[in-house]
Structure formats: C-alpha cells, structure tokens
Amino acid sequence: MSTPSGSPPQEPAGRVVLDARDIARALTRISHEILERNKGAEGLVLLGIPTRGVGLAERIAARLAETEGVEVPVGSLDITLYRDDLRRQPARGPQPTSLPAGGIDGRTVVLVDDVLYSGRTVRAALDAMNDLGRPDVVRLAVLVDRGHRELPIRADHVGKNLPSARTERVMVRLQETDGQEGVWIS
C-alpha cells in the first residue's frame, strides 16, 4: 500500500515494541484464550471497534476458524456518538456499525480494540452495544494495554501489557488499514 503521493508509508517515529510476527503471535494467543474461556466457539460474536479493532477482530475470527473449524461471526461497533469527549476533541465521521445476522442477544460478545488506555472507548462501546441488544456476556480483547485507566475497566485478553507514561504515544499500524504492520511507542 502506498500513500497518496505514491510513496510507501513512513514508519512512525519511536521505538518498535511489536513487529508483524509479534502481532501474529499475540493474536494467536488471544484466540486460544477466547476459546478456552468460552469452552469452544459456540455462541461467540466478535465486535471490532473501528478502525483497527475491526481488522483485529477479523484476524482473530480467522484463527478461531482454523482451530475450531467453525466460522465465528464478526461485526463492527461504531462508538463515535457515544464518546464523552466529543466537545473537547474534533469528532471523526461515524463509521459503520454492522452486526452479524444472528445479532448479539444471548451471545458471548468479545469487543476487540487495538489499544486500551483510559477505558473511555470501552465505556462508549458498552453504551453503544446496549442500544443494539443484550448479550449474555461481554469480554474485551486488546492488542495493547498501556495502563492509565480512568474508569474501572480491564481487558480479559491482552496481546501485550505496555507500561507507558501519559506523555508517550502508542501507535498501532495494521497492513489492511495503514499499509504497514507494527506497534510503536514515542
């Protein structure tokens, strides 16, 4: 993938903390943890939080299918209008919300996101999901947990715990959305 000027994407400044192979291993581990916790793939639904959470959810679903031999439904859950910081930060345009054909009622929903930081994105996702149905169980899978929670939220499945300072920035790049793969901290 290239940038609009036709040149390849430029790596973010900072230190690489996960490369493509590390991300692949982390997602495989998360997938196995999800299956163990759920005792198989029965009743599972993965909901990715746009943008990068959707790609991660699709990758996890592919690994679940390889392991269990069944397709786990994947959807996306836009949280834009549920955020509590819309007045302070410029709003991005809403992303699509798409639920699998069977919906989420009575299912085990695994929310998938790239980075867990303050917990506010997850709170918004829970509010958005509440308007769409009532799952039996909601779990959270994240590629990176960097700490600094402002709300009492924790991930059930974590690819990498990455202690960081509030002044540092964690950048996740995925091939399907960014044309490169890795996690950087600066």
Q: What is the pLDDT of residues 23-45, one digit of tens each?
A: 999 999 999 999 999 999 999 99
Considering the domain boundaries, does residue 152 fall inside one? yes
Q: What is residue 94's predicted lDDT score, i.e. its pLDDT?
A: 79
What is the rounded distance in angstroms from the CA atom of residue 108 to the CA atom of residue 102?
A: 12
Domain contains 150:
yes
Asked whether residue 64 is assigned to any structural domain, the reply reads: yes
**71 occurs within a structural domain:** yes
In a domain, 117, yes or no: yes
**pLDDT for res 86:** 65
Q: Where are the alpha helices (DSSP H) in the chain?
A: 20-38, 52-68, 120-130, 175-178
Residues of the chain with pLDDT > 90, as a percent, come to 84
Query: How many domains in the chain?
Result: 1
Asked whether residue 55 is assigned to any structural domain, the reply reads: yes
Of the candidates 26, 22, 13, which has an alpha carbon nearest to the alpha carbon of residue 185?
13
The per-residue pLDDT for 90 is 62
CATH number, domain containing residue 48: 3.40.50.2020
User: How many other CB atoms are found less than 10 A from the CB of residue 83?
Assistant: 19
pLDDT beneath 50: ranges in the chain:
1-4
pLDDT at res. 1: 47
